[in-house]
């Protein structure tokens, strides 16, 4: 079994000040990672707190796996609200949540926090699919927030959401089984050469 790990890449003059771990699992065998908190100083001396995680996958027992994920999300919202209460207003939560946005297991984010989904930002751009399912089940439906295939998310505190000027989703390193669906990099020629099964969700130019 391969272990899924998480990491970050910082540009020049961005400084990683601290890394903290928050346990968001109630059982030792929960299929999920700890919540990793990265404290980063930007070139303008602003601070950003990045919370990164990988949540419970859906299993054959949907109710059980959804319940575990909901508990994980609830604990993440507690960490987020604690940061905000300390005046740490520049917060990002990103990771693989393994559920679509409308799943009840993710509801604590909308009910218990003021977090904003990056896909709702006016600058958010994504390459539209060209496949037969392009009208509804396309990954391009990210922009409308009705994508049943979405598993990867980025949420921002209002302070960061309002400062952000560019954002989007890049799937060019993902191999598309039913061609043509979206454009890929020339180096991605089959399943074995794709970078990941997950798209790159990105946002920037806010600090």
Distance of CA 72 to the CA centre of its chain: 14
Over range 102-131, report the average pLDDT: 87
72 has pLDDT over 60: yes
Which pLDDT score is estimated for 206? Answer: 62
Model confidence at 130, pLDDT cuts 50, 70, 90, reads: low
DSSP 3-state of 15: strand
Q: Distance between CA atoms of 33 and 55, rounded to whole angstroms?
A: 6
91 has pLDDT over 60: yes
138-147: long-range contacts, CB 8 A cutoff, minimum separation 24? 138/181, 139/169, 139/171, 139/181, 139/182, 139/199, 142/169, 143/119, 145/101, 145/102, 145/117, 145/119, 145/120, 146/102, 147/100, 147/101
37 has pLDDT over 80: yes
Q: What percent of the chain has pLDDT over 90?
A: 51
* 146-158 confidence digits (pLDDT tens): 454 678 899 999 9
- Distances in Å between the Cα of 192 and the Cα atoms of 42, 174, 179, 199 are 36, 10, 16, 16
Q: Distance between CA atoms of 175 and 153, rounded to whole angstroms?
A: 20
Beta carbons of 194 and 173 less than 8 angstroms apart: yes
* 6-15 confidence digits (pLDDT tens): 778 899 999 9
CA nearest 72: which of 54, 93, 84, 86?
54
29 has pLDDT over 70: no
156, β-bridge pairs = 92, 116
DSSP 3-state of 105: helix
Q: Which stretch of 51-60, 83-92, 173-182, 190-199 has the lowest confidence by average pLDDT?
A: 173-182
Q: Which residue has the higher pLDDT, 182 or 157?
A: 157
Question: Could you tell me what percentage of the chain is helix, strand and coil, using 3-state DSSP and rounding each to the nearest 5?
Answer: 25, 25, 50
- The reported pTM is 0.85
Beta carbons of 151 and 85 less than 8 angstroms apart: no
125, β-bridge pairs = 168
Question: Would you say the C-alpha torsion 79, 81, 85, 90 has a positive or negative sign?
Answer: positive
Which pLDDT score is estimated for 180? Answer: 55
Q: Distance between CA atoms of 48 and 123, rounded to whole angstroms?
A: 21
């Amino acid at each position: 079994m391969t272990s899924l790990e998480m990491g970050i890449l910082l540009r020049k003059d961005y400084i990683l000040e601290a890394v903290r771990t928050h346990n968001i699992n109630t059982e030792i065998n929960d299929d999920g990672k700890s919540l990793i908190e990265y404290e980063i100083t930007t070139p303008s001396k602003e601070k950003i707190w990045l919370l990164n995680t990988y949540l419970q996958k859906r299993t054959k027992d949907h109710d059980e796996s959804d319940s575990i994920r909901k508990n994980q999300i609830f604990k993440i919202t507690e960490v987020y609200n604690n940061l905000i209460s300390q005046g740490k207003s520049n917060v990002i939560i990103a990771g693989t949540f393994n559920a679509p946005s409308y799943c009840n297991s993710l509801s604590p984010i909308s009910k218990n926090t003021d977090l904003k989904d990056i896909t709702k930002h006016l600058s958010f751009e994504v390459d539209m699919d060209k496949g037969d399912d392009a009208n509804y089940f396309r990954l391009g439906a990210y922009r409308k927030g009705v994508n049943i295939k979405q598993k990867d998310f980025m949420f921002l505190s209002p302070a960061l959401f309002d400062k952000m000027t560019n954002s989007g989703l890049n799937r060019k390193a993902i191999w598309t089984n039913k061609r043509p669906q979206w454009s890929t990099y020339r180096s991605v020629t089959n399943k074995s050469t794709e970078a990941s099964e997950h798209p790159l969700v990105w946002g920037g130019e806010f600090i």
